[in-house]
């Protein structure tokens, strides 16, 4: 059942409405009281989660007798951003994932954020799905604050992602949805995958399979599930950043999520006016490329790749 869980007035007698699709299972038992939330669309240019929500809702509806408990799907936390194809809230030029937990005494955006937090709070697990931007392609990965890693890791490993990136607490923004929910006791996992303004069907299907595996591990799904991947966990492994040292167009010569040796050729930055190679880009370490430049135009300092290297203490 679809319900409006937050709304606010706009100009010309219009309203912004944030909707939730609640799917209640027909199964019984200990899991019948559990609730899982699937959240996406915080940024209007991130669309991978839209397909995941659609597929999850379809499979659950078709197999409703196999579901125990409740799955809440929030397909668009920032509907104005999605309508206008902008990352933030267009009327405010504001990143919605920088205003949580919000407040009922604040601006329109802060009030909406507070109502979202209130509606999700108390769930057993929340999965917060993001895409990358239009510039970078990300392998399906889960990003966890080191302060929550011990509690969240068992759930993260069920989600069929390739990589779990544990961030130090100093680099985690306290104004995000995931942080706000985790500190108040609602376990929340952040998934990042694909490319902005695109749907990578392979990645979406991979995560959808992981969601049903998670539901099965919670005792909420009795249907068939696929075998899941054993993710690489960053742990003590270093993450190296490859940045462009020149302006031009970046043309890669490697694939995404492949092993690479230190000094191996990643690609070239080419001057489109002269055709000359401005920079021969090589890997600073051996490891796996989990982020790769998708949008070819680069300037000095533009991120080209991230590489999960070996032991950072080595």
pLDDT in tens, 119-170: 999 999 999 999 999 999 999 999 999 999 999 999 999 999 999 999 887 6
- Kindly give, in sequence order, each residue whose CB lies less than 8 Å from that of residue 58, ignoring residues fewer than 6 positions away: none
Give the span between the Cα atoms of 252 and 279, in whole angstroms: 12
Residue 278: pLDDT above 70?
yes
Residue 279: pLDDT above 80?
yes
At 77, list the tokens. 């936390």
- Position 237 scores a pLDDT of 79
Residue 236: pLDDT above 70?
no
pTM value is: 0.95
Among 95, 102, 123, 137, CA closest to 296: 137
- Report CA torsion sign: 35, 176, 207, 311: negative
pLDDT per position as a tens digit, 184-201: 999 999 999 999 999 999
Residue 20: pLDDT above 90?
yes
- Position 238 scores a pLDDT of 83
- Position 91 scores a pLDDT of 79
With 0-12 / 13-18 / 19 or more C-beta atoms within 10 angstroms meaning exposed / middle / buried, residue 135 is: middle
Give the span between the Cα atoms of 227 and 43, in whole angstroms: 31
Residue 311: pLDDT above 80?
no
For the residues 239-255, what does the mean pLDDT come to?
Answer: 97
* Percent of the chain residues topping a pLDDT of 70: 98
Name the CA radius of gyration of the chain, rounded: 21
For the residues 98-118, what does the mean pLDDT come to?
Answer: 96
């Amino acid at each position: 059942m679809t319900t409006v869980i937050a709304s606010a007035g706009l100009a010309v007698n219009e309203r912004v409405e944030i909707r939730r699709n609640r799917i209640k299972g027909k199964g019984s038992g200990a899991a019948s009281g559990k609730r899982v939330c699937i959240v996406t669309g915080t940024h209007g240019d991130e669309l991978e989660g839209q397909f995941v929500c659609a597929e999850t809702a379809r499979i659950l509806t078709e197999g409703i007798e196999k579901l125990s408990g409740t799955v809440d799907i929030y397909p668009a936390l920032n509907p104005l951003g999605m309508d206008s194809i902008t990352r933030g809230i267009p009327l405010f030029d504001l990143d919605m994932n920088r205003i949580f937990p919000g407040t009922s005494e604040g601006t329109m955006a802060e009030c909406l954020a507070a109502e979202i937090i209130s509606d999700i709070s108390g769930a057993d697990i929340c999965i917060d799905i993001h895409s990358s931007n239009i510039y970078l392609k990300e392998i399906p990965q889960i990003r966890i604050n080191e302060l929550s890693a011990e509690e969240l890791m068992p759930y993260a490993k069920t989600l069929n992602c390739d990589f779990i990136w544990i961030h130090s607490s100093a680099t985690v923004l306290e104004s995000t949805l995931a942080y706000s929910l985790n500190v108040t006791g609602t376990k929340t996992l952040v998934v990042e995958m694909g490319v902005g303004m695109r749907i990578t069907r392979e990645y979406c299907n991979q995560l959808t399979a992981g969601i049903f595996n998670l539901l099965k591990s919670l005792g909420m799904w009795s249907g068939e599930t696929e075998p899941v991947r054993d993710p690489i966990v960053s742990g003590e492994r270093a993450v190296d950043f490859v940045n462009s040292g020149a302006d031009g167009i970046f043309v890669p010569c490697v694939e995404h999520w492949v092993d690479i040796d230190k000094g191996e050729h990643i690609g070239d930055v080419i001057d489109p006016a002269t055709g000359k190679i401005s920079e021969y880009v090589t890997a600073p370490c051996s490891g796996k490329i989990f982020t790769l430049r998708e949008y070819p135009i680069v300037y000095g300092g533009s991120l080209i790749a991230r590489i999960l290297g070996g032991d950072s203490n080595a």
